[in-house]
Amino acid sequence: MQAVLRGRSAHARQTVNESPTGIIASTVRPFLHAIGNGTGSSQMAVFSGVPDIGPNNKESWPSYCDTDKATNECAHLAFIRDHQQVMRWAPDVKAFLRHYGIK
């Protein structure tokens, strides 16, 4: 959000099961703020949920997800740490960075 406020480009992304309330507001809010202020550039991406992360299968969660974590927290961790998940969004982020001259 601070990047958007400073007029810098912002790239927001999340999965649908990453929100604690089941909505995408945490991703949409900075995107809409950037549009409303007319500063910087923004890009938003919402991905399908991280598979096999649910409240009824905590025993099969990845090792970095403690079973005391909320389901959405584990989904977020898996989305940013699991190789298969990262490969879903990394090419898009790289293209965004290249487009705006960020190395």
Give the bridge partners for 11, in sequence order. Answer: 43
Helix/strand/coil (H/E/C) assignment for every residue in the chain: CHHHHCCCCEEEEEECCCCCCCCCHHHHHHHHHHHHHCCCCEEEEEECCCCCCCCCCHHHCCCCCCCCCCHHHHHHHHHHHCHHHHHHHHHHHHHHHHHCCCC
Confidence check: pLDDT of 87 > 70: yes
Q: Which residue has the higher pLDDT, 6 or 29?
A: 29
Specify the pLDDT at position 22.
67
Specify the pLDDT at position 5.
45
26-84 pLDDT, tens digit each = 666 666 665 655 556 777 777 888 888 888 888 888 888 887 888 888 999 999 999 99
Q: What's this model's pTM, rounded to 2 decimal places? A: 0.71
Q: How confident is the model at residue 4 (pLDDT cuts 50, 70, 90)?
A: very low
